[in-house]
Structure 1
Amino acid sequence: MEDLKRRLRDAAAAHAPDRDQMLERVRHGMSRTPGPDRRADRPLSWPRVTLATLASTAALVAGGYTIATTVHTNNPGRAAATAPAAPPPPSAPPRTQDGPLRSDGSVDPHLNAYWSQSNITLQAGAPLDALTLEVRIAQTGGVASTGAWRTLPEGDFTLTTIDEGGALIYRWTLKPGRTVPPGQHVFAVQYNHAPGSRAATGDAYAATATTTRGQQHIVTGTFRPAAGATG
């Protein structure tokens, strides 16, 4: 029995902890223990960055919205571009004067129920060395040319008459080397039409002239209805 107790004491003594060794292990373990976990700061830094980014983005978005609003408000052209297209404005009124060149158009009162004449009066305030006058008589039914004349010399102009189906076109062109003197000059076109009173609302003319100084002028117009017509 005594022998057993002695053997147990020897075994316990052999397994008794070595104080110095334990202290050494504790010191070694502390040297390997990481300091404060710096990763704990990371959840704080991420929201800060994110919020800063969101703030910058919000500022840019707000700024962009302000710019877009300003552009839309202060730039009528831009606003009009996105708005439904407005109906086109009425046609510009005839330009019956351009520099020294003036014009007037009217339906001659000496007409009847089957025939009409339309007159164009050109007033030249300077000599012209180029002139083209085109007259368009709308096809209102039965319209056909019966001739044309002018107060200027016939040999100074080339006259062409073309039936385009929708209109009858008369065109005078001043020949090269010829000159139109200053003054008032009349050009007239004559045509048959369907029986009855004919409206000239679809008729028009245009004249392009160049002065001897090289200045180009253009006049356009329509025809006034005949006043005091006689048959």
Structure 2
Amino acid sequence: MTMQRDVHDELRARLHEAAEAHEPNRERILARIERGMAGQERTDHRATRPPLWGWARIVGATAAVAGMLAAGGYAVASAVKDDTRQQQTVAVSPTPVESPDATSRPPVSPKATPSSGGGAQDPVEPSGPPSSPEKSTPSAPATVELLPATDDDDDGPLWSDGSVDPHSNDFWAQSNVTVKAKQEVTALTVQLRIAQTGGVSSTGAWRSLPEDDFTLTVTEQDDFLVYTWVLKEGRTLAAGEWVFAGQYDHDRGGRDAKDDSYVIAGVSDGEDRSLGGGFAAQDDGDDS
């Protein structure tokens, strides 16, 4: 198949060259016409030929030349046409790419779930600063040591308080631990314990202090969801008031926080400090 195509290509190339090189010899044709006309005027024996025969020869010669030119032109045109036809290509449109699924949607925030009354409830935000939820440190152990429980919320220069955030709803809640220090704190561990009352699972955490100053660990121990913040070695906290918050989902309905608790261990004024407390049970009749 390739050899035949090469032969055809070579033939077309030669026909192109022959057509471009061919130039009709106009002077030769005119000379032949003049000789034919001059022959009619001779008085010798050839003058006896009928004039019609001389003109027939002239017309025949002219027609033969015209026929050769027409045949050559047709051959060149056919070769060019075949070459053009073989060089034509067909454009094919690319395969269409499917568009992304129009039904895909980002996940719905747990804070935008409907209330127990069946109507839609507007999303709520925690009362703390709008910082992104903290993530537990990858190197943190699977379990953490639980600090000894205590009901003393005041120890020298440190004071604490535990409360359920008012923006909590029937599906989601946030528990806040507030720490106040009258003097510099050189070591601090805050542990928040949320009792497993059904469907309790962490959705995030934050603190009002720099994130890089603390490591966070979130574990489940002894039917409690435990958040533990530890001040990194070499870091200190100036006197002030800070908030540590844990966020979590729970089963539908008003959740009772009476079994939740927090414990704080720190060093201030050169002495070890320990304090903690619980959370007041939520008022089921509170519509706020």
TM-score range for the pair, normalised by the shorter chain length = 0.5 to 0.7
Distance 1:118 1:159, change over 3 A: same
Match of 1:195 in 2: 252
Superposition pairs of residues 4-23 of structure 1, within 5 angstroms: none
Q: Unmatched 5+ residue regions in structure 2? A: 1-148
- 1:71-94 CA-to-partner distances (Å, cap 9, x unmatched) read xxxxxxxxxxxxxxxxxxxxx972
Match of 1:174 among 231, 244, 259: 231
Question: Deviating runs (4+, > 6 A) in structure 1?
Answer: none
Larger mean Cα displacement after TM superposition, 113-122 or 220-229 = 220-229
Match of 1:216 in 2: 272
Corresponding letter in the other structure for 2:273: H
Corresponding letter in the other structure for 2:279: F
Is 1:114 aligned with 2:171? yes
Corresponding letter in the other structure for 2:220: D
- Tell which has more relative contact order, 1 or 2 (C-alpha 8 A, sep 6+): 1
State the shift of 1:165 in Å: 5.4
Distance 1:139 1:181, change over 3 A: same
State the shift of 1:226 in Å: 5.1
1:156–1:174 CA contact under 8 A, matched in 2: yes
Distance 1:199 1:226, change over 3 A: closer
State the shift of 1:181 in Å: 1.2
Corresponding letter in the other structure for 1:224: A
Task: Give 3-state SS (helix, strand or coil) of 1:94's partner.
Answer: coil
1:124–1:182 CA contact under 8 A, matched in 2: yes
State the shift of 1:191 in Å: 0.3
- 1:96-153 CA-to-partner distances (Å, cap 9, x unmatched) read 1000000011101101110000011100111011000111100000000001111010
Superposition pairs of residues 41-80 of structure 1, within 5 angstroms: none
Match of 1:147 among 204, 211, 217: 204
Match of 1:77 in 2: none
State the shift of 1:214 in Å: 2.1
- 1:159-204 CA-to-partner distances (Å, cap 9, x unmatched) read 0000125110000000011111101111111000000000001100
Match of 1:161 in 2: 218
Task: Give 3-state SS (helix, strand or coil) of 1:181's partner.
Answer: coil
* CA–CA distance in structure 2, aligned partners of residues 204 and 93 of structure 1: 9
Task: Give 3-state SS (helix, strand or coil) of 1:155's partner.
Answer: helix
* CA–CA distance in structure 2, aligned partners of residues 165 and 146 of structure 1: 19
TM-score under structure 1 normalisation? 0.57
Corresponding letter in the other structure for 1:145: S
Larger mean Cα displacement after TM superposition, 163-172 or 120-129 = 163-172
Q: Percent identity?
A: 49
1:111–1:229 CA contact under 8 A, matched in 2: no
- Quick check: which one's strand share is greater? 1
Q: Unmatched 5+ residue regions in structure 1? A: 1-91
* CA–CA distance in structure 1, aligned partners of residues 235 and 155 of structure 2: 22
Is 1:94 aligned with 2:155? no
State the shift of 1:229 in Å: 5.9
2:153–2:160 CA contact under 8 A, matched in 1: yes
2:254–2:282 CA contact under 8 A, matched in 1: no
